[in-house]
Chains A and B, each alone.
Chain A
């Protein structure tokens, strides 16, 4: 059963912002923190940050600290990740992911959202 469903592909111009959504099934919304990870074409995985679904408190990795915002909407069981001041280097597939139990790593992944930044 698919537990995390992401929004569709986006195309943006350099300098713009993009917001990606990740919807969890209602009964699993508060289960575990939501992590955001990206993979640029031909590159490895880059962990961007994590959000606590209970209190909405985020942790951002230093690289994205100034231009990423992670939020959640408890009424719609949705998590959002907004990235601003986009450049071509932000072209990547973005994933939301979470643990499947308290001591596990990321066992539950969204399907990924391709963000293309191009003029």
Chain B
């Protein structure tokens, strides 16, 4: 099975900072990569997937890039409401494995 590795596992940044989270697949998955935002006690929220398909209602400060095995999620200007854990997930073929998550906090 393809493994998904996220980094870092956690980060702390200031409001307004640019934040980048990386997700690496052990084999190529084309652009079948999703990013979810998960806040405590809440259901995962699909943010963005594929090359850069932003879900409706997701702020434009969120963007994604990458292909093949290496992908990034970028928050261009971190806001207090972005405090959450972010997960990547492959969705090309089963199993749809998740990355380990990246916890984002405000410094």
Contacts and interface: CB of A to CB of B under 8 A. Distances in A.
Interface of A: 35, 37, 44-47, 49-50, 59, 61-62, 95, 97, 100, 103-107, 109-112
B91 A62 contact: no
B35 to A, nearest CB: 9
Interface majority SS on B: helix, strand, loop or mixed? loop
Interface stretch (B12-20, B63-71, B98-106): B98-106
Contact of B43 (A61, A62, A104, A111): A111
A59 B93 CA distance: 11
B41 to A, nearest CB: 9
Given A35-B96, A45-B38, A95-B44, 5 more contacts: A44-B98, A45-B101, A49-B95, A61-B1, A112-B43
Contacts of B32: 105
Contacts, number: 59
B46 A105 contact: yes
Interface string B63-107: 000000000000000000000000101010011111111000000
B34 interface: yes
6 contacts: A35-B96, A44-B100, A47-B97, A49-B94, A106-B44, A110-B43
A109 B42 CA distance: 11
Nearest to B93: A59
Nearest to A107: B46
A106 B98 contact: no
A105 B1 contact: no
A49 B50 CA distance: 21
B50 to A, nearest CB: 8
Contact of A45 (B87, B91, B94): B87
B27 interface: no
